[in-house]
Amino acid sequence: MIQSKYKWLYEAPKQDISSEIIKEFNLSSIVRKILESKSITQYDEINTLINGTNKKHDSWLMSDMRKAVDRINLAIDKHERILVYGDYDADGVTSTTILVQTLQKLGAEVGWYIPNRFSEGYGPNKYAFQNAYDEGVSLIITVDNGIQGHEEIEMVQALGVDVIVTDHHEIGRTLPKAYAIIHPMHPEFEYPFKYLCGAGVAYKLSQCLIDHPPEYFIALATIGTIADLVSLTDENRTIVQEGLKYLNQSCPFQIQSLLNQAGFNDEIDEETIGFIIGPRLNAVGRLEDASLAAELLMAEDSEEANFLAEQVEAFNIERKDIVAQITEEALLMANEKVENGDKFLLLAKEGWHEGVLGIVASKIVETYALPTLILNIDLEQHHAKGSARSIEQVSMFEILSAHQDLISKFGGHHMAAGMTMEIDNIDALSKGLNEWMVQLSKHTSLEPTKYITTKLSEDDITVSNIHDIKILKPFGTDFEKPLFELDDTEVNDVKAIGKDKNHLKLVTGQAKLQHLFWKNGDLMTQIELGQPVNIIGHLQINEWNNNQTPQMIIQDLATQNEQILDYRSKRKQLNIDTSSNNVAFVIHSKKEKLGENYFHYGETIDSSYNTIVFRDLPTDLDSVTQSLKHLEYSQLYLVLHHQHSIYFEGLPSAHLFKQSYRALFTKKEMNLEKEGLQLCQYLNIKPNTLKFILKVFLDLSFIYEENGIIKINDNPSKQSIESSQVYKSRQSRIEVEKLMLYDDFSHLKNWIKAQKA
């Protein structure tokens, strides 16, 4: 039995879409199922979703918007120097670009600054603010940061520099004493939608400063929205729909240069931004100064953009290599902590590149489904900096806030955070976070969960239906890509694919549906042809040689039945940890046990073992039956090691036994070492057969041995050859080999199952 990695939750729809609405929008069955699962069943909701009805809210409703606009206009009129203070991620550089170019259009004396992730960290920085003051700046506008910059803002405002904060991150216990705060979650204002990203907030400010912001700005806001993983509902959905439409109709040369470097020339959708554009804009700030990404977005011609995009691509390639190296090290540390019972994984090491730790943290969370904080230890600065990623059940902002006394500086939201802390506090923080998790686990399940959109049959999975799903795009946070469940689909073919055979490919069902399960090639050895499997995954269309076929990208897989797996061939290598607490090894009775998880055939095996390995070939079937009688397992591996096989040699005939005895009786005694080969030739048998015959005779006392000389017993008791224990043992071994080594595997499986009945 293959256990699912996640708990699968499916909730049947509470309400159906009426037949009138289905007809009105020409909804296919699969689209109807998706909408009903998301409780989107009313006309207006469906119309908004499919036709993109405008959900933009009045930008003037945003907190302090009038106050901020008036102050900016005053600064422009008085020729004050304005600084746009940004952030180093994709949301930060897009929001910086939007506001800088907005102010430039208004004729403002504007400069921009993005702090260095490594030397300055996230958010307002006293030295940068002081430097701005020294250079004559009298108005600072933060974008995608600032809400946690209490001390820095208070310091620079005391110097006479006004600060306007535009941000979307979680608001702490108090608000900074800024001149104005534009924030969708401001507690004193009721903006209709709370979950804009930094670029979305900057875009709202742009709308209030200029009558008709360029369409390029909606594209930038779209990139920020998707890259920052904010809720893809309400106003964000409208922004993204409009932005994607513009990107596909008239892609700006700045964005096109990035896509060209990536070799992408297809339709731009939310996944293009999430997996191609966003990571490349992020890569620059992760490794060095993010200003390069902002310069690309602000490039004035395609030649400049192409030059900058080439540099961005180089950073992205380097970023991937660094992530792979740190992830490998972090996984080893995480595994040790998981084995020790940690529920919050705080992993810290000197020499880790701070810029990629958020990506690494995400990979650790993906592997262990536990909230994770990855820190780089900087001994020279005597502090540790890093990034945290969470699971659905744990608010990273809340849990870090509860331990704020151990943290020098942090900012973030429910699922992610960045932070700096003293090295001496690492152990105390790890202990505190784990204690917090222990208390949480007493009333909240931490089991990783996948929420199923709807269950499908094989007939639902067609190219036409997958095309229909596209009318519901874009998908993202709070409007996730549909996750489908397909149950009891029979495996027709299974193989490991890829350079290192680390991906799994399945073909199932009568429709021969293809499935891919990335990074799970090891499951190939656990899946049998003809076996029914349950699968959850996303649907996509596979195109090859102008031929389109449906395909499922597997997210999880499970089998309901116990598995008996054939590893008798020497070509199959069984890679199982011999020290694992979940694996029991059954060995030959003459072999030494290597641990508590080793058993001899015939012994009762504890039910705590999910995986059983019949490592050695047993000597008899009765002991196997005894082991199987009360055995519980998910998977039973048949390896059945043995030195040599005797099945094809068989048992000597009664006539051969008689011939051998007559030959010995005639000679009365014989030196086996000197005359054994001659006797074999006389009897026309192999030496091993003669040895067996002599062992039987010795066992029955027909002969005896003295100093290497075989002698006839003059007064033997009358016994049948079949009564010999040596004979019986060989007979039993042949029965074992016939069934367990040479019989049809399906018959062997049925025999094993029958012993448990």
483 with 470, same domain: the answer is: yes
Model confidence at 757, pLDDT cuts 50, 70, 90, reads low
Q: Is residue 400 domain-resident?
A: yes
Say which range, 51-60, 93-102, 111-120, 288-297, has the weakest mean pLDDT. 51-60
Domain boundary among 408, 443, 478: 443
The CA distance from 61 to 204, in Å, is 10
Domain boundary among 510, 531, 558: 558
Q: Is residue 334 domain-resident?
A: no
pLDDT average, residue stretch 426-454: 94
pLDDT one-digit tens code per residue, 90-100: 999 999 999 99
Model confidence at 593, pLDDT cuts 50, 70, 90, reads very high
Q: Residue 53: its pLDDT value, please?
A: 66
669 with 704, same domain: the answer is: yes
pLDDT one-digit tens code per residue, 363-391: 999 999 999 999 999 999 899 999 999 99
568 with 553, same domain: the answer is: no
Q: Residue 67: its pLDDT value, please?
A: 98
Domain of residue 678 covers 647-723
The CA distance from 208 to 700, in Å, is 107
pLDDT average, residue stretch 405-413: 86
- Is the model more confident about 530 or about 295? 295
Provide the CATH number for the domain around residue 704.
1.10.10
Domain boundary among 314, 329, 355: 314
Neighbouring C-alpha atoms within 13 Å toward the C-beta of 357 = 28
289 with 365, same domain: the answer is: no
Q: Is residue 51 domain-resident?
A: no
Residue 561 has pLDDT above 80, yes or no: no
605 with 518, same domain: the answer is: no
Alpha helices in 452-514 (DSSP H): 463-469
Q: Is residue 619 domain-resident?
A: yes
Residue 119 has pLDDT above 90, yes or no: no
Whole-number percent of the chain with pLDDT over 70: 99
pLDDT one-digit tens code per residue, 348-358: 999 999 889 99
70 with 124, same domain: the answer is: yes
Rounded alpha-carbon distances, angstroms, from residue 277 to 115, 273, 312, 316, 546 = 21, 5, 11, 11, 27
Residue 707 has pLDDT above 90, yes or no: no
743 with 715, same domain: the answer is: no
439 with 291, same domain: the answer is: no
Say which range, 137-146, 218-227, 561-570, has the weakest mean pLDDT. 561-570
Q: Is residue 64 domain-resident?
A: yes
Give me the chain's average pLDDT, please: 93
| Number of domains the chain contains | 5
Strand partners for 616: 641
Q: Residue 525: its pLDDT value, please?
A: 81
pLDDT one-digit tens code per residue, 621-672: 999 999 998 888 888 999 999 988 999 999 999 999 999 999 999 888 889 8
- Name the token pair of 642: 């043995």
- The answer for residues whose C-beta is within 8 angstroms of residue 224's C-beta and 6 or more apart is 90, 91, 94, 95, 144, 197, 198, 199, 200
487 with 630, same domain: the answer is: no
201 with 77, same domain: the answer is: yes
Q: Is residue 35 domain-resident?
A: no
Residue 52 has pLDDT above 80, yes or no: no
282 with 356, same domain: the answer is: no
Q: Residue 522: its pLDDT value, please?
A: 87
Q: Is residue 1 domain-resident?
A: no
Burial of 288 (0-12, 13-18, 19+ CB in 10 A): middle
Cα 220 to the center of its chain, rounded Å: 29
Model confidence at 347, pLDDT cuts 50, 70, 90, reads very high
pLDDT one-digit tens code per residue, 392-403: 999 999 999 999
Q: Residue 672: its pLDDT value, please?
A: 84
pTM recorded for the entire structure? 0.77
Residue 560 has pLDDT above 80, yes or no: no
- Is the model more confident about 474 or about 608? 474
* Residues 347 and 372: beta-carbon distance below 8 Å: yes
Say which range, 65-79, 103-117, 294-308, 558-572, has the weakest mean pLDDT. 558-572
Provide the CATH number for the domain around residue 413.
3.10.310.30
pLDDT one-digit tens code per residue, 154-192: 999 999 999 999 999 989 889 999 999 999 999 999 999
Q: Residue 578: its pLDDT value, please?
A: 67
The CA distance from 466 to 552, in Å, is 10
Q: Is residue 387 domain-resident?
A: yes
518 with 371, same domain: the answer is: no
DSSP output for 497-546: ESTTS-EEEEEETTTTEEEEETT-GGGGGG--TT-EEEEEEEEEEEEETT
Model confidence at 427, pLDDT cuts 50, 70, 90, reads very high
